[in-house]
Amino acid sequence: MIPTQLQHALGAIGPVVLGMALLVAVRLMEDRRDPTATDPLRLGLRVAGWVLIVVGVLAATVLSLGILFSILLLILGLPALFEHQRAQRQAFLGMLSAAVRQRMPLSPALEAFAAEHGGITSWQAQALTRLLAGGWPLPDALDHVRWLVKGRDLVLIRAGQESGHLEQALRDVTARYELEDPVWSHNGGRIGYLVVVTGWAWVIGTFLMRIIAPQMQTIFQEFNLDLPLVTQWAIFLSEGAARYWYLIAFNILLLAMLAYLLCALRGMGSISLPVPVFDGVIVRLHSGTILEALALAVQGERPLRDALASLARWYPKYWVRARLVKVLRDLDAGGDWTDSLLARGVIGRSERAVLQAAQRTGNLAWALREMADASRRRVAYRLQVLVSLLYPPAILSIAAVVGLFVVAYFYPLVRLIESLT
């Protein structure tokens, strides 16, 4: 006989099979004559297929492994998924850069890339090939595919295409990955370690609360002994956390929403309250991309006003577009572009001074690219400092919780042995 839990898990595979069948049907329905045509029916079937697959996989995982182990599996699996996606994206950008540098047609290179890679990356590369064959510009085709490159990468690719320096734009994107990836990987490993340790502490704490604590209370009652005070406090806190978990989750969610709203309003310029982490890291992260896009425009002898208008239209972040729109209004009113970028929080005072001096001497493109590199290095440095400051307190907090549970659940055994002897 198959266990009931396994039967339920096998039953949850049904939506996965149905979702895969829908995706295959959508694949067969594609119009080879016009691959860019948008069909609401195909789009709905594709969305329904992926929803069925995701729901089926999650249900099968939860029913077979349980909620706690499913959450831990998700925590461990997401970094691997993100790392795989990053590697695929870097491989695609490297192929694209080599093809542009060697003046090769993009369609054969994309077909070879699709044949070498599998899964979603291969499908997206094939779709990109069909779009380019249909006469789509490269930035618009990449924007339509929305998987092979990130939003900030697409900003530079579009700026390079519009200025006639696509090869330089692809080199800038590759150089940015070489600078940012070691920092993000190192700090991401630290954060992932904290998440995994916290998850296992949650699992062990739940086991102690549900299994060990009731049996310990029963044993001490049989021997007419009182539990130590530290154990009583640990049980009380554990029971409170288990009983009112929804309040804890609601407060965490509320704080996250408030933080997001505060950062969004600060980014759009609606409020002037400083947000150190947001202003020091996030804004600088986008400033580098904006400066590099402007460097490509200057290198291609394109008016800065047109480059800023393109950025204000195509930049993926709304609050960045809102700031750039204000910069355009300042330029239309006769203002200086460096003063406007400073007033809107895109660059700092030192950067404005360097750019103004470089503009007078005719080295503006070089200065813009150097300021972009300096901005990214500043982001990496600040992120490294932030993680270095928060990592030790997080480790000490976890150690304190572990120490509390160790004392709370092992000290009663010492008391019990002393009473028996």
Closest CA to 401 of 208, 193, 190, 187: 208
Residue 1 has a pLDDT of 44
* Ranges 73-77, 199-203, 212-216, 279-283, most confident: 212-216
326 against 219, higher pLDDT:
326
Are 223 and 305 found together in one domain? yes
Are 268 and 400 found together in one domain? yes
**Tokens found for residue 194:** 């904290």
Residue type, 70: S
pLDDT, one tens digit per residue, over 290-322 is 999 999 999 888 899 999 999 988 888 888 888
Residue 58 has a pLDDT of 66
* Ranges 22-26, 93-97, 195-199, 382-386, most confident: 93-97
Q: For residue 77, what pLDDT band results from cuts at 50, 70 and 90?
A: low
**Rounded Cα distance, 139 and 109, in Å:** 17
The least confident of 23-32, 123-132, 158-167 is 23-32
Are 414 and 326 found together in one domain? yes
Share of the chain above pLDDT 90, in %: 10
* Ranges 61-65, 139-143, 198-202, 255-259, most confident: 139-143
**Beta carbons within 8 Å of 386's beta carbon, 6+ residues apart:** 277, 281
Provide the sign of the torsion angle of the four alpha carbons 250, 253, 259, 264, taken in this order: negative
Residue 190 has a pLDDT of 75
Query: Per DSSP, which regions of 10-84 are E strands?
Result: none
Are 292 and 334 found together in one domain? yes
pLDDT, one tens digit per residue, over 42-72 is 667 777 777 777 777 766 665 555 555 555 5
Which H/E stretch holds residue 69? helix 67-101
Residue 339 has a pLDDT of 92
Ramachandran quadrant class, 135 (left: phi over 0; alpha: psi -120 to 50; beta: rest): left
138 against 383, higher pLDDT:
138
Are 50 and 86 found together in one domain? no
Cα 90 to Cα 94, 164, 181, 215, 298: the distances in Å are: 6, 22, 11, 54, 27
Residue 181 has a pLDDT of 66
**Tokens found for residue 289:** 């991309």
Residue type, 421: T
pLDDT at 328 over 90: yes
Are 128 and 259 found together in one domain? no
Q: Out of 148, 172, 200, pick the residue that ends a domain.
A: 148
Q: Are 299 and 163 in contact (CB under 8 A)?
A: yes
**Beta carbons within 8 Å of 213's beta carbon, 6+ residues apart:** 235, 238, 409
pLDDT, one tens digit per residue, over 9-35 is 555 566 777 777 777 777 666 544 344
**Rounded Cα distance, 341 and 366, in Å:** 18
* Ranges 84-88, 117-121, 289-293, most confident: 289-293
pLDDT at 179 over 90: no
pLDDT, averaged across the chain = 76
| C-beta atoms surrounding 203 within 10 Å | 15
Q: Out of 148, 175, 193, pick the residue that ends a domain.
A: 148
Q: Out of 44, 65, 86, pick the residue that ends a domain.
A: 65
pLDDT, one tens digit per residue, over 346-379 is 888 888 999 999 998 888 989 998 888 888 788 7
User: What is the average per-residue pLDDT within 218-225?
Assistant: 80
Q: Evaluate if pTM is beyond 0.75.
A: no
Are 27 and 123 found together in one domain? no
DSSP conformation class of 33: S
Are 211 and 336 found together in one domain? yes
Question: CA dihedral in degrees (359, 364, 368, 371; nearest 10)?
Answer: -60
Backbone angles phi, psi at 189, to 5 degrees: -65, -40
pLDDT at 89 over 60: yes
Share of the chain above pLDDT 70, in %: 72
User: What is the average per-residue pLDDT within 331-345?
Assistant: 90
**Tokens found for residue 27:** 């694949």
pLDDT, one tens digit per residue, over 271-282 is 444 455 555 556
The least confident of 15-19, 327-331, 333-337 is 15-19
Are 2 and 114 found together in one domain? no
pLDDT, one tens digit per residue, over 232-283 is 887 777 777 667 666 766 666 666 566 555 555 544 444 444 455 555 556 7
**Rounded Cα distance, 219 and 201, in Å:** 25
Are 23 and 160 found together in one domain? no
Residue 216 has a pLDDT of 79
Are 244 and 330 found together in one domain? yes
Are 257 and 406 found together in one domain? yes
Which H/E stretch holds residue 271? none
Range of the domain at 22: 1-65
Q: Are 372 and 288 in contact (CB under 8 A)?
A: yes
| C-beta atoms surrounding 108 within 10 Å | 11
Q: Are 273 and 266 in contact (CB under 8 A)?
A: yes
**Tokens found for residue 371:** 């300021």
Number of domains in the chain: 3
